[in-house]
Structure 1
């Protein structure tokens, strides 16, 4: 598929054919592409938890679903054959930028204009979404409710230094494509050239 087709076709898919498994080589390609995302200082401070069995996915759903208004959370209602949870690791970045070649001598968040560990993990998540489209799959990125992160960590043994940024469900779409162009902001609404005002 041409890159412009991937960009044009990428959308959040919420319903999948749960009877159709994703081939292992497709999962491998998705993960291979995820780790090709850019990262500040080539820190690569991310981690990916791959859930492929119905038991693991059910455990994830249970851990990530709040007790109140559960039906309003995608974490409670999705059914997908594959889930990849993306995590950032701030410590890796702080360690990397305390090395002599970066000109710093201490681990500090003070010189970061934004949390690059989270941004870089978000870029990896976007590559997961785009690779899914390139493979003829659908995908949806969603966040975990903050109050459910401890239950998620406990259910899957996630170390404290890994912070879940979000999860991506992946599968063969079982919903018709939607035309979102009428809802998408135009380039003129969000782009300024040379000066904002």
Structure 2
């Protein structure tokens, strides 16, 4: 598939065929491509938690959900046969920029205009989303509720220096893959979002 077609077809898929697992070689390509994402100072301060077994996935949904009966969205999302949680590591960036070729020996977080550790992990997630489309799969990026991060860490033994920036669900689209009502808003026109030379 040509790259322009991959970009055009990329959308968030919220329902999956539970009977069709993601082939191992495709899973590995998703991860290999994620690791090709740019990172400030080539810090590569990311990690990826791969959850494939029914037990692992159930543990994820239990840790990140508030309990009670799942709504339609959660019911459909839980059918995904593969979950990949991209995690960022701020310390890896602060350490990297304290090295001699960067020269910020104080490791001062205030020097960073935005948290590039999270930005870079997000770019890795986007490469997974695009790879899924190229492989004929569906995927969705969604967040881990802030109040559930500690439960998520405990459920999987995630070290304290790693922070989940979200989760990527991956699988073959199911029969009930409804389009988000938000799409009714339409895409903003280019002239509304692109400013050339000045605002």
How many residue pairs are counted as aligned between the two chains?
A: 196
The secondary structure found in structure 2 opposite 1:98 is coil
Write the distance in 2 (CA, Å) between the matches of 1:109 and 1:18: 43
Counterpart of 1:126?
Answer: 126
Write the distance in 1 (CA, Å) between the matches of 2:136 and 2:23: 12
Runs of 5+ unmatched residues, structure 1: none
Counterpart of 1:57?
Answer: 57
TM-score by length of 1: 0.93
Structure 1 residue 181 displacement after superposition: 8.5
Counterpart of 1:191?
Answer: 194
The secondary structure found in structure 1 opposite 2:93 is helix
Contact 2:94 2:107 in 1 (8 A): yes
| Residues 1:66 and 1:73: Cα distance change in structure 2 (over 3 Å) | farther
Contact 1:64 1:75 in 2 (8 A): no
TM-score by length of 2: 0.92
| Residues 1:54 and 1:148: Cα distance change in structure 2 (over 3 Å) | same
Structure 1 residue 79 displacement after superposition: 1.7
Counterpart of 1:144?
Answer: 144
Write the distance in 2 (CA, Å) between the matches of 1:108 and 1:29: 36
The secondary structure found in structure 1 opposite 2:110 is coil
Runs of 5+ unmatched residues, structure 2: none
Kindly provide the CA deviation profile for residues 41-77 of structure 1, in whole angstroms up to 9, marking residues without a partner as x: 0000001000010110001000000247963874995
Structure 1 residue 102 displacement after superposition: 0.5
